[in-house]
């Protein structure tokens, strides 16, 4: 695998061998056929309106952390990403070279987090993320997808979870976490397959694999708050979805169906999901749509909103507040995605002594540069991902200077992304989930 990273202003090179291998199998006719079919069948009103309406004004440029972090490299302006990809597809009537296809693939998969910040800065509200997803779908249909994220998509199709977790491993992990927690709280349970529970709790594939303590903490929190809850032992326990990001919407629909249906089968009142941004997006405004539901068929509550509700109802009580000063990273998928920023702040204020805002914040926060499946494209792109978010590093450093010692990010991908940024730019700040804080501070 090629390892060198292009300098900001060099001609780019393709870093992922799967992209090259995929493209080598294609003739220009194949490429043209798929592109034109896609434009004919899926290039609807939004697609046309966006492409026709963009005035090349550059209002969106300064919205994108890639552009800002890489010395205002023109190619990284949101509208420029469209120009280099779909712009070429349309201009050449689909007859683009393999090089253009490979470049388009890299741009759509690794130069855009689909964070939708630029949409808020465009006078027309042009949704560049939507257009980049269109490019990804073309790439998916052509079999030109970065290797690591395609592997997670394969895992989704084979196992209905993101991390090749086998069913026995999943159950073992839950039992192990239950055992551990019982040392602390003897009557704690992680209920499995319980019918008619108030809460169906689902997590993302990486939790049992890498961050099992989060399941432990969630179980303790549920116990402390006296929640009637359950998880499922069958596929459907994973609410994550990388297929949504590889352009495989058919798989997305299957995944979300399994997830919704397992909650409905258990006749749960609602789904509560762990602290993940993209999973929430897939359940709340992507997967349900592909399945033909205007809104999810069963109420879906993100962990942040759930905590806020428990605190407001007094079911969860803070024993003593978290002492070290904290700042908060607004994950795009739950803030620009469901406006949970005020609820998150309410939880933070109730559980922490000192809260320091990052600038800009709320809807205007910068993405972590891991989202949209970019971190899932793996090691070949890590360098670029970190370099492409200097603005985030600057945001964090400014918060650090104001005294913040901890940054709270209620999203798995954000964690991965921020960790790399903190490490690369040597920022002396620790990163935590909201549940880490609550676990430490609540009455158990």
Contacts of 187 (CB under 8 A, 6+ apart): 223
User: For residue 166, how many other CB atoms are within 10 A of its CB?
Assistant: 10
| Nearest CB to ligand SF4, comparing residues 298 and 411 | 411
Contacts of 210 (CB under 8 A, 6+ apart): none
d(CA 61, CA 58): 5
Q: Name which of another protein, ligand SF4, none residue 331 binds, using a CB cut-off of 5 to 8 Å depending on partner kind.
A: ligand SF4
DSSP letters of 307-357? Answer: HHHHHHHTSS-BSS-B-S-EEE---HHHHTTT--HHHHHHHHHHHBS-EE-
Provide the minimum distance between the beta carbon of 261 and another protein in the complex, in angstroms, as a whole number: 22
d(CA 436, CA 329): 15
- Report the interface residues with ligand SF4, using CB under 6 A: 54-60, 63-64, 66, 78-79, 81, 112-118, 122, 124, 126, 128-129, 277-278, 331-333, 367-368, 370-372, 411, 413-414, 417
Provide the minimum distance between the beta carbon of 1 and ligand SF4 in the complex, in angstroms, as a whole number: 24
Q: Name which of ligand SF4, another protein, none residue 112 binds, using a CB cut-off of 5 to 8 Å depending on partner kind.
A: ligand SF4
Provide the minimum distance between the beta carbon of 368 and ligand SF4 in the complex, in angstroms, as a whole number: 4
Q: How many CA atoms lie within 13 A of 63 on its CB side?
A: 26
Q: Name which of ligand SF4, another protein, none residue 38 binds, using a CB cut-off of 5 to 8 Å depending on partner kind.
A: none
Provide the minimum distance between the beta carbon of 443 and ligand SF4 in the complex, in angstroms, as a whole number: 30
Q: Name which of another protein, ligand SF4, none residue 105 binds, using a CB cut-off of 5 to 8 Å depending on partner kind.
A: none
SS3 for 213-260 is: HHHHHHHHHHHHHCCCEEECCCCCCECCCCHHHHCCHHHHHHHHHHHH
Provide the minimum distance between the beta carbon of 246 and another protein in the complex, in angstroms, as a whole number: 21
CA-based nearest residue to 374, from 107, 101, 82: 107
Q: Name which of ligand SF4, another protein, none residue 46 binds, using a CB cut-off of 5 to 8 Å depending on partner kind.
A: another protein
| Nearest CB to ligand SF4, comparing residues 133 and 174 | 133
Provide the minimum distance between the beta carbon of 380 and ligand SF4 in the complex, in angstroms, as a whole number: 18
Q: Name which of another protein, ligand SF4, none residue 370 binds, using a CB cut-off of 5 to 8 Å depending on partner kind.
A: ligand SF4
- Report the interface residues with another protein, using CB under 8 A: 42-46, 48-50, 52-63, 67, 72, 74-75, 77, 79-80, 83, 119-127, 285, 289, 294, 335-340, 360, 363-364
Provide the minimum distance between the beta carbon of 395 and another protein in the complex, in angstroms, as a whole number: 16
| Nearest CB to ligand SF4, comparing residues 113 and 395 | 113
- Residue tagged 């309106």 (tokens): 49
**177 in Cβ contact with 212 (< 8 Å):** yes
Contacts of 418 (CB under 8 A, 6+ apart): 329, 368, 370, 392, 396, 407, 409, 431
Q: How many CA atoms lie within 13 A of 17 on its CB side?
A: 3
Provide the minimum distance between the beta carbon of 422 and ligand SF4 in the complex, in angstroms, as a whole number: 14
Q: Name which of another protein, ligand SF4, none residue 52 binds, using a CB cut-off of 5 to 8 Å depending on partner kind.
A: another protein
Q: Name which of another protein, ligand SF4, none residue 128 binds, using a CB cut-off of 5 to 8 Å depending on partner kind.
A: ligand SF4
């Amino acid at each position: 695998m090629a390892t060198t990273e292009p300098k900001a202003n060099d001609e780019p090179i393709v870093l992922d061998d799967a992209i090259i291998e995929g493209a080598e199998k294609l003739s220009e006719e194949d490429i043209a056929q798929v592109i034109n079919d896609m434009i004919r069948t899926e290039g609807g009103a939004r697609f046309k309106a966006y492409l026709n309406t963009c005035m090349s004004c550059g209002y969106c440029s300064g919205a994108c952390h890639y552009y800002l972090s890489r010395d205002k490299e023109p190619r990284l302006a949101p509208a420029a990403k469209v120009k280099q990809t779909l712009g070429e597809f349309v201009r050449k009537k689909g007859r683009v070279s393999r090089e253009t296809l490979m470049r388009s693939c890299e741009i759509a998969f690794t130069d855009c987090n689909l964070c939708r910040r630029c949409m808020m800065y465009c006078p027309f509200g042009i949704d560049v993320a939507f257009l980049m997803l269109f490019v990804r779908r073309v790439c998916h249909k052509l079999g030109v997808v970065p290797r690591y994220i395609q592997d997670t998509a394969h895992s989704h199709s084979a196992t209905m979870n993101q991390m090749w977790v086998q069913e026995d491993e999943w159950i073992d992990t839950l039992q192990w976490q239950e055992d551990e927690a019982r040392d602390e709280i003897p009557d704690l349970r992680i209920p499995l397959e319980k019918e008619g529970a108030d809460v169906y709790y689902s997590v993302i594939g990486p939790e049992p694999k890498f961050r099992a303590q989060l399941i432990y903490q969630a179980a303790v929190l549920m116990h402390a708050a006296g929640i009637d809850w359950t998880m499922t032992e069958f596929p459907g326990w994973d609410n994550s979805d990388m297929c949504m990001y590889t352009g495989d919407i058919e798989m997305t629909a299957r995944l979300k169906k399994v997830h919704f249906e397992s909650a409905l089968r258990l006749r749960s009142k609602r789904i509560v999901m762990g602290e993940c941004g993209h999973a929430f997006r897939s359940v709340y405004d992507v997967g349900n749509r592909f399945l033909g539901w205007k809104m999810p068929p069963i109420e879906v509550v993100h962990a942040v909103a759930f905590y806020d509700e428990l605190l407001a109802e007094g079911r969860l009580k803070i024993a003593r507040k978290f002492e070290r000063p904290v700042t908060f990273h607004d994950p795009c998928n739950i803030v620009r995605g469901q406006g949970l920023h005020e609820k998150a702040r309410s939880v933070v204020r109730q559980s922490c002594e000192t809260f320091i805002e990052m600038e800009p914040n709320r809807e205007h926060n910068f993405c972590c540069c891991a989202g949209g499946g970019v971190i899932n494209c793996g090691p070949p792109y890590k360098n670029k991902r970190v370099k492409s978010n200097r603005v985030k590093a600057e945001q964090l450093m400014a918060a650090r200077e104001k005294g913040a010692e901890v940054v709270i990010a209620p999203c798995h991908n954000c964690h991965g992304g921020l960790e790399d940024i903190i490490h690369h730019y040597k920022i002396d700040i620790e990163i935590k989930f909201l549940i880490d804080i609550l676990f430490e501070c609540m009455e158990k």
